[in-house]
Amino acid sequence: MILAVCLNPAVDVTYSVAALRYGTSHRIAAVHRRAGGKGVNVARVLAQVGEPVAVCGFAGGGTGRWLRDELAGSGVADRLTGIDGETRQSVAVVDEADATVFNEPGPPVRDADFSGLADTFEQQLAGCAAVVMSGSVPPGAPVDAYARLVLLARRHGVPTVVDTSGAQLRSAADAGATVLAPNRDEVGVASGDPAALLEAAAELSRRSGGTAVVSAGRDGLVAVDGEHHWRALPPRQVTGNPTGAGDALSAGLARGLAHGSPWPLVLADSLALAAAAVAAPVAGQVELSLYRELAAVPTVEEVPCP
């Protein structure tokens, strides 16, 4: 089993419009409403590709009950911890060019809430092949929340993938996360320049002692594992809704880690999943036929150390 951690889940609402224009009204062509948040999206992708998966996190209020009810039919086992606050919503407006996302803040959590989640998390580690932690944390959560969970997982010999930013990313690196998987914005690289991306990945790899994968959207990704450096470009450009691409990438990394696959294969598979997620109408879903097509195309090359 793979365990996904989503400390700040959301009910994701996706509006499809012909073109998003500031300051005007819009006719919505389609509406999708489903349980989401980055970690939940990761778990959904893993379930879609046949991996047994459970999700830990917080859920509260009427929105949290709706999220748990909707999640029940997804193939993802619910291991969420109940809290008093109201689970947030997020809204993505998708047109032919891109997606614009509005994220509500999460509900405040107390020390006792996090302690309860940590207990549940540790219980789930028995028989767990990998843990993947994704996204922001709600107000009140420890500033080193992911680092604490990484240390628990390490104590039980379970490898971890962490996709987050800021202090949470740095502390997860210091705790020795097996794989760090931020995007270029989260490491402060404004463009898809391979040298700058590799430098950022190398710094994270040195800090954690593990592997760092930095994704760059249409510019693919780079990865550093000690002295090994890789670059991968998408097999071809896919248009659609990019909001779930990073989550699909994290799902692929966790899947590869769970199965002990070699890094070039893991990176190619993860990139194919990310591209196939862009073609799906909502985050947390991939177009499986496109995924199979793209996964068959070689995309990864080892590059010299910068």
Q: Which residues are catalytic?
A: 247
Nearest to 183 by CA among 252, 133, 245, 246: 246
- 5, with CB counted inside 10 A (0-12, 13-18, 19+), is buried
Nearest to 182 by CA among 44, 174, 168, 90: 168
- Residue 283, strand partner residues: none
Structural contact between residues 36 and 12, judged by C-beta atoms closer than 8 angstroms: yes
**Conformational region of residue 302, where left means phi above 0, alpha means psi within -120 to 50, and beta covers everything else:** beta
Q: Within 13 Å, how many C-alpha atoms sit on residue 285's CB side?
A: 15
**Conformational region of residue 210, where left means phi above 0, alpha means psi within -120 to 50, and beta covers everything else:** beta
The Cα–Cα gap between 231 and 274 comes to 15
Task: Locate 61 and state its tokens.
Answer: 């209020």
Tell me whether strands 30-36 and 10-16 are parallel, antiparallel or unpaired: antiparallel
- Structure-token match 């929105």, residue found: 63
C-alpha angle 200/202/204, rounded to 5°?
Answer: 75
The Cα–Cα gap between 34 and 11 comes to 6
**DSSP secondary structure string for all residues of 25-43:** ----SEEEEEEESHHHHHH
